[in-house]
Amino acid sequence: MLMTVVTAYYKRFNDWKSDAETYNRETPMLVRNSLY
């Protein structure tokens, strides 16, 4: 039971982390494109 919860949270954390990395990678380009 506990492992299922831990696995679910771990998976969600990894999804969030990959989303954050994508956001951090793409946002500077979006800002740069909107500035120029």
Domain that holds residue 3: 1-36
Cα separation, 32 vs 35, in Å, equals 5
pTM of the model: 0.47
pLDDT on residue 36? 60
Q: What is the pLDDT of residues 6-27, one digit of tens each?
A: 999 999 999 988 888 888 888 8
Cα separation, 2 vs 8, in Å, equals 10
> How many folded domains does the chain comprise?
1
pLDDT on residue 32? 77
Residue 9: phi and psi, rounded to 5, are -65, -40
Q: What share of the chain is helix, strand, coil (3-state, %, to 5)?
A: 95, 0, 5
Cα separation, 27 vs 35, in Å, equals 12
